[in-house]
Amino acid sequence: MARRGEQWGQMSAAGGLTGVVAAGVRDAVGLVLPVRCGGCAAPGAAWCPGCRRAARTPPPDVVVPAGGPAAWAATACAGPVRVLVTVHKDAGRADLRPELAVLLAEAMHRALATDPVLRTARTRGGVLVVPVPTARRAGRRRGEDAVGALATDATARLGDPRVGCRRVLRHTRAVADQTGLGRAARAVNLAGSMGVRAADLRIVEGAVCLLVDDVVTTGATLAEAARAVRAAGARHVAAAVVAATPPTRARPRSDQ
C-alpha cells in the first residue's frame, strides 16, 4: 500500500485544479508520470474498466439512526470504490471526481424519483442539495472541500434548474476523525457539531433538502446534518451518497 500511496501522491500535484485545465495538466504530467487508476493503481487511466465494473455492485441497505433521513446509495463501499473515495478525499486526486460524480448523480436521481416529497418539490418549488461539510483530518489538503466540489459536479450532471446545490452547512466545533470509532462514539463525536451558515438561514427555512456525502457508514454524519438543517427550518430532508458501507464493516469490534 505504501507504494500505491506514493503513486497517488505523485498525482496530487495536478489534483487541485479543475476542468479543462486539470485535464491538460494531467496529460502533460502524464508524459513523465503515468496516470494510475484511483481504485487499483494500474497505469493508463484514472479509473480503469475493471474498477468501473466493480463499482456496479448493488448497494447494501443504507443504515441511518432513528430520526435520521431516508438515504439512497449508488453502490457498495468496498474494494476499489472504497479506495477511490479515500484517495479522492485524502490525497486530493480531483481528477477522480468525475467518476464519483457520475455515481453520486445516480443516487441523487434515485432519491429524487423515489421520495414523494422530493418528487413533488422537483416540479414545484425546488430541491436544495446540501453537501455534508468535510472534516479536517491529518494529511488532508487544507481548505479543500472535496464533498462540496463533488456535490456541485453531481448536481450539474442532473441538469435540472429546480435542483440547486449550495454549501450551507459548516462545522460549529472541531470533531475527531471518525475512522476507528464505533457507532455510539461516532454519534457522540458529531452531536451538535454542524450548523447552517447565518447568511444561508433564509435559503434553508422551509426548504426541501437533499443531503449528499461520499460515504455512509453508521449514518451518524447524515443524522447530524439532517438535525442541523431541520433546526434551521428545513421542512423535509432526505440523503444521497456515492457508496454505503456493508453492515459487517459498519460494526467495528468496539461495537459488539
Residues in contact with Zn ion by the rule CB under 5 A: 37, 39-40, 48, 51
Based on CB atoms, which residue is closest to Zn ion, 25 or 40?
A: 40
CB of 74 vs Zn ion, minimal distance in Å? 17
CB of 232 vs Zn ion, minimal distance in Å? 41
- What count of other Cβ atoms lies within 10 Å of the Cβ of residue 1? 7
DSSP for 25-79, written as a single string: HHHHHHTTS--B-TTT--BT-SS-HHHHHHTTSPPPPPP--TTPPEEEEEEES-H
The DSSP element (H or E) to which 114 belongs, if any, is: helix 97-114
Q: Measuring CA to CA, which residue among 161, 71, 69, 70 is closest to residue 122? A: 161
Alpha helices in 191-253 (DSSP H): 201-204, 220-231, 247-250
Based on CB atoms, which residue is closest to Zn ion, 99 or 153?
A: 99
Contacts of 53 (CB under 8 A, 6+ apart): none
Based on CB atoms, which residue is closest to Zn ion, 36 or 166?
A: 36
Based on CB atoms, which residue is closest to Zn ion, 96 or 207?
A: 96
CB of 54 vs Zn ion, minimal distance in Å? 8
For residues 109 and 114, give the distance between their C-alpha atoms in angstroms, rounded to a whole number: 9
Based on CB atoms, which residue is closest to Zn ion, 4 or 136?
A: 4
CB of 105 vs Zn ion, minimal distance in Å? 21
Q: Measuring CA to CA, which residue among 209, 225, 211, 217 is closest to residue 59? A: 217
| Cell numbers that stand for 227 in this block | 438535525
Based on CB atoms, which residue is closest to Zn ion, 87 or 239?
A: 87
Q: SS3 for 81?
A: helix
CB of 7 vs Zn ion, minimal distance in Å? 12
Based on CB atoms, which residue is closest to Zn ion, 23 or 40?
A: 40
CB of 87 vs Zn ion, minimal distance in Å? 11
CB of 34 vs Zn ion, minimal distance in Å? 13
- The type of residue at 148 is G
| Cell numbers that stand for 21 in this block | 485545465
